[in-house]
Amino acid sequence: MAGALWCGGGPATMVARTCMSARRDSSAPLGVFDSGLGGLTVVRALRRRLPNESIVYLGDTARVPYGTRSASTVVRYALGCARLLLDRGVKGIVVACNTVSAVALEMLRVELDVPVLGVIEPGAAAAVRAAEGGIIGVLGTAGTIASGAYPRAVAAQSTRSEVIGQAAPLLVPLAEEGWTEGEVPRLVVRRYLEPVVAAKARVIVLGCTHYPLLYDTIRDEAAYLAGHPIPLVDGAQATAEAVATFLEERGELTQSTSRGSLELLVTDLPKSFANIAERFLGEPLPKVEQVDL
């Protein structure tokens, strides 16, 4: 299953190019990119699940957000980010951006000769398992919800589960401002959760990489509204599990017994990025390097 998440279910030529290419050096780093800093929650999950793997992270801060761009523009930006990471010698790429995962993932898999994983498919697969045929609620940005990517990903896993999507755009600035607890985030979260809980969702997917910072508030408000706990699926953790399974099955886990290195690259405003990024990463930051695409 994890291999399928990396390789996709597209034409045989795509699968061959993405998955049947020569294996890379297992000591090479993983590449991760996002339009900004939200993807650092995926890096955080990867560093917990695969502590010995080295990671190169790219935040395209010069062009954030991607959610307001056309699909063709998002594809062009994503290819630029991926090619920069390939120049750094990565053995695989994790697209830690729901927008890119929704509209550009298949093109990346066609164009690149390393495995490519998005954040939507692993989260959808985890939700299907947890829902056991029940309704799946998804909180996401307006662009992600409008794309229909989660209903498609869930349908590819199971025809038994219905998806209820709810755009929750205010959760992004709350996470970036560090307003993750207290009355303001609680009331905002409650407003977004009300229709999801009313629809009898059996599980709720955090469909944006910013949302794990509000995990406790979302969990508590969902339980308050429903009168019982509702499981949450953290897409970052689900993605980390999918990466770990794929690397293990391919024999490409690093053999290093030391803590993996972390490179942080941005395309603009490295100081501003660094001021916020530590909350998302959950550990002290290395030096942030500015690069050009």
Contact in structure between 206 and 218 (CB atoms under 8 Å)? yes
As a residue count, the chain comes to 293
Q: Which residues are catalytic?
A: 97, 208
pLDDT score, position 6: 55
163-195 core/surface letters (b: 16 or more CB in 10 A; e: else):
bbbbbbeebbebbbeebbeeeebbebbbebbee
Query: How far is Cα 146 from Cα 102, in angstroms, rounded to an integer?
Result: 10
Chain position carrying tokens 């709720």: 204
Which pTM does this prediction carry? 0.88
- Taking 50 as the pLDDT cut, the residues of the chain under it are 1-4, 8-21
pLDDT score, position 18: 42
Q: How far is CA 100 from CA 64, 82, 186, in A?
A: 12, 11, 29
pLDDT score, position 14: 29
pLDDT score, position 91: 97
pLDDT score, position 151: 96
What is 2-118+237-290's CATH number, 3.40.190.10, 3.40.50.720, 3.20.20.140, 3.40.50.1860? 3.40.50.1860
Q: How many helices (H) and strands (E) does the chain have?
A: 14, 10
pLDDT score, position 188: 98
Burial class (CB in 10 A: 0-12, 13-18, 19+), 279: middle
Topology (CATH) of 121-235: Rossmann fold (3.40.50)
The residues of the chain that CATH labels 3.40.50.1860 are 2-118+237-290, 121-235
